[in-house]
């Protein structure tokens, strides 16, 4: 069998070029398949874009459906001496806080020794805390220098920390300093002893700083706190005390901006979703270009189900429809928010506004009765693995698989056709080569015969 590289040698014809042209013509059969595959892939990408936009809308719904969204509060402090942070459980109001004393941690130090690394002999370090906790640490000889005792104390418990200070005394400058890990009376050391250690260790009575509780007055009520961070004096409010002898006013107000922001984000995400749907289903008559999902049944299902969300009313007393809270549907399908109306409802009908979005508890039933729950169920179904987007995506993937199988069959068919052409061209090349050889032989014979007969040209 003649190879493609050898074609045309015998005949002098450009059979290689002709075979290449025939192969190119045959491969034109694959072009519609390539274009169809690209179209399916573009539709899969369009489904992905729709799913992403729908998921963003779902996230906005989820945030709007949280009760804490409508319980958000903010705090401010007028005056000096403290800071305040309010959680969702804080009750709006004004609180007068007077800081009398700050909480302090216990501290003390031993009398000095001449060398912090000198062994002091075996001994026991014991102490009790104000809350009744007790510790006893045995220290062996050979590990009983100030450094060794410090390390043993820090390694075996966490209620008291030890360090070494140098007070500059020319004879015995090194002292073991002890500090409670927490402030307040309960965390303070109530008794402390050093037994052994060659009787060189003893607490310097003049160095003791007692652990004290913070003292404050909130709206005329005296309060004591182990810490300068007071979490249980006011519901949902953490007070951080900073300066003694100061008075400040803590104002806790409903965070209407957070509530308005959650509703605005809901409207914005829905409008973005609608914009995506329109872009995927549009048709431009001038350019004759269409959106990737024009006429797609799955997209129509999504659009229809979303439209139904806004035709439902929420059961119960108070607010029942989106229009009543200032959200109206425009002719182009988008939503428009009346922020002034929403702010008024936030100030005057916050409970009803919260109930509209988050729902109210129905004893004995799990039925969702808030707008977010109803809308959320619809969106969840649309995003479900059996929903229109997932089914449409899987349909396109299956179609691509079938196309690839067909493409592979066409590739085999083209290869067989080109191989058949190659064989035929090889045969043609050989036949023409033989004919040329025969023609040349006959011409030689004629020339020889003419020479014998004396014929001259």
- What domains does the chain contain, in order, with CATH numbers? 1-72+262-312+369-457 (1.20.1330), 73-102+214-254 (no CATH), 107-207 (2.60.40)
What SS3 state is found at 141? coil
Instruction: Read off the tokens for 210.
Output: 């007692």
Q: Encode 195-211: b = buried (16+ Cβ within 10 Å), e = exposed.
A: ebbeebbebeeebeeeb
What would the mean pLDDT of 392-400 be, rounded to a whole number?
A: 91
- In this structure, of 232-241, 261-270, 273-282, 314-323, the range with the lowest mean pLDDT score is 314-323
Report pLDDT for 6.
64
Report pLDDT for 313.
79
What would the mean pLDDT of 336-345 be, rounded to a whole number?
A: 92
Per-residue confidence band for 243, with pLDDT thresholds at 50, 70 and 90: very high
Does the pLDDT value for residue 340 go beyond 60? yes
What would the mean pLDDT of 162-177 be, rounded to a whole number?
A: 94
Per-residue confidence band for 1, with pLDDT thresholds at 50, 70 and 90: very low
299 touches 314 (CB < 8 A): no
Higher pLDDT among residues 16 and 119, named by residue: 119
Exposure of 46 in the CB half-sphere (CA atoms within 13 A): 24
Does the pLDDT value for residue 144 go beyond 80? yes
Per-residue confidence band for 367, with pLDDT thresholds at 50, 70 and 90: low
Does the pLDDT value for residue 363 go beyond 80? no
98 touches 216 (CB < 8 A): yes
Does the pLDDT value for residue 435 go beyond 90? no
179 touches 161 (CB < 8 A): yes
Exposure of 299 in the CB half-sphere (CA atoms within 13 A): 24
Report pLDDT for 447.
73
- For the chain, the average pLDDT equals 87
Work out the percent of the chain whose per-residue pLDDT is above 70: 94
Does the pLDDT value for residue 135 go beyond 50? yes
């Amino acid at each position: 069998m003649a190879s493609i590289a050898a074609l045309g040698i015998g005949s002098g014809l450009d059979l290689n070029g002709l075979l290449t042209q025939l192969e190119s013509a045959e491969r034109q059969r694959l072009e519609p398949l390539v274009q169809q595959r690209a179209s399916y892939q573009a539709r899969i990408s369009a489904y992905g874009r729709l799913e992403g936009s729908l998921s963003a809308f779902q996230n906005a719904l989820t945030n709007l459906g949280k009760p804490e969204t409508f319980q958000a509060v903010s705090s401010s402090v007028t005056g000096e001496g403290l800071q305040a942070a309010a959680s969702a459980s804080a009750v709006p109001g004004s609180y007068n806080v007077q800081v009398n004393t700050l909480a302090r941690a216990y501290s003390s130090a031993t009398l000095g020794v001449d060398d912090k690394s000198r062994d002091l002999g075996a001994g026991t370090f014991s102490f009790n805390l104000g809350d009744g906790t007790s510790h006893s640490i045995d220290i062996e000889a050979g590990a009983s220098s100030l450094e060794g005792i410090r390390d043993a104390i820090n390694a075996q418990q966490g209620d008291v920390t030890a360090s070494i200070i140098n007070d500059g005394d020319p004879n015995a400058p090194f002292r073991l300093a002890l500090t409670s890990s927490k402030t307040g009376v309960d965390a303070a050391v109530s008794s402390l002893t050093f037994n052994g250690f060659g009787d060189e260790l003893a607490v310097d009575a003049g160095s003791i700083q007692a652990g004290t509780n913070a003292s404050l007055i909130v709206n005329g009520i005296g309060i004591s706190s182990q810490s300068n961070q007071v979490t249980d004096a006011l519901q949902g409010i953490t007070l951080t005390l900073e300066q003694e002898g100061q008075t400040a006013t803590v104002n806790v107000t409903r965070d209407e901006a957070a509530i308005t922001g959650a509703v605005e984000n809901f409207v914005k995400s829905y409008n973005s979703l609608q914009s995506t749907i329109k872009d995927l289903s549009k048709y431009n008559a001038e350019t004759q270009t269409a959106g990737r999902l024009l006429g797609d049944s799955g997209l129509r299902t999504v659009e229809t189900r979303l439209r139904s969300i806004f035709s439902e009313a929420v059961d119960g007393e108070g607010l029942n429809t989106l229009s009543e809270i200032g959200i109206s549907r425009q002719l182009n399908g988008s939503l428009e928010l009346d922020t002034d109306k929403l702010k008024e409802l936030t100030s005057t009908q916050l409970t009803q506004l919260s109930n509209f979005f988050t729902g109210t508890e129905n004893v004995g039933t799990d039925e969702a009765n808030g707008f977010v729950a109803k809308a959320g169920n619809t969106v969840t179904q649309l995003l479900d693995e059996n929903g229109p987007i997932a089914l449409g995506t899987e349909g396109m993937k299956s179609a691509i698989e079938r196309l690839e199988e067909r493409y592979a069959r066409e590739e085999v068919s083209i290869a067989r056709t080109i191989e058949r052409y190659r064989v035929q061209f090889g045969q043609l090349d050989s036949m023409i080569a033989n004919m040329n050889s025969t023609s040349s032989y006959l011409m030689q014979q004629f020339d020889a015969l003419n020479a014998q007969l004396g014929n001259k040209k």
